[in-house]
């Protein structure tokens, strides 16, 4: 009986620890038509309190993984430049990585303008690779895949 109770307690503790190790960021992917064949893709990161997500650009001494946005090749779409970051950027010494880094807390939007080459329906797909930390630890890098429809 004691062995069974100990096993159940171990399972419960393992489940509780595993549940806490999940992503601390909820992603939303929104498309907005700007004009004829031109669209804005918004990749919105809603970050849990106490955690932060790193900018695409980091200082030279930063060891944090910068956020990277990858778009799958689509011959019908032209991706213009690098995604812009919209949010309150913090540039500070990061205790978790023991280096200076650039990051966002609470919420950040990565905004990318794309153009569809002709009046066709297509989709843009890709992923966002990111890392989050709090004041004591960093979680392993994670990826959020996306696919949004563009109406030509």
Provide mean pLDDT across the span 92-104: 85
Range of 76's domain? Answer: 24-151
Retrieve residue 119's tokens: 């009046």
Q: 2 in a domain, yes or no?
A: no
In whole angstroms, give the CA distance from residue 109 to residue 45.
6
In whole angstroms, give the CA distance from residue 21 to residue 78.
37
pTM of the model: 0.82
Residue 97 in contact with residue 126, Cβ under 8 Å? no
**CATH number of the domain to which 87 belongs:** 2.60.40.1250
If one counts the domains in the chain, the total is 1
Q: 19 in a domain, yes or no?
A: no
Q: 1 in a domain, yes or no?
A: no
Q: 18 in a domain, yes or no?
A: no
Q: 129 in a domain, yes or no?
A: yes
Q: What is the pLDDT of residues 40-62, one digit of tens each?
A: 999 999 999 999 999 999 988 88
């Amino acid at each position: 009986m004691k062995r069974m109770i100990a096993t159940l307690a171990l399972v419960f503790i393992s489940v509780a620890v595993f549940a806490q190790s999940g992503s601390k960021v909820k992603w939303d992917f929104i498309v907005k038509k700007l004009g004829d064949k031109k669209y804005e893709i918004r990749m919105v990161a809603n970050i849990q309190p106490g955690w932060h997500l790193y900018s695409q650009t980091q200082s030279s001494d930063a060891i944090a993984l910068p956020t990277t946005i990858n778009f799958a090749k689509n011959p019908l779409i032209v991706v213009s430049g690098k995604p812009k970051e919209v949010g309150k950027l913090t540039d500070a010494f990061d205790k978790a990585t023991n280096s200076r880094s650039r990051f966002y807390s609470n919420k950040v939007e990565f905004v990318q303008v794309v153009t569809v080459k002709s009046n066709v329906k297509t989709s843009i797909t890709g992923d966002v690779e990111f890392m989050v930390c709090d004041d004591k630890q960093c979680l392993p890098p994670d990826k959020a895949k996306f696919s949004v429809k563009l109406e030509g």
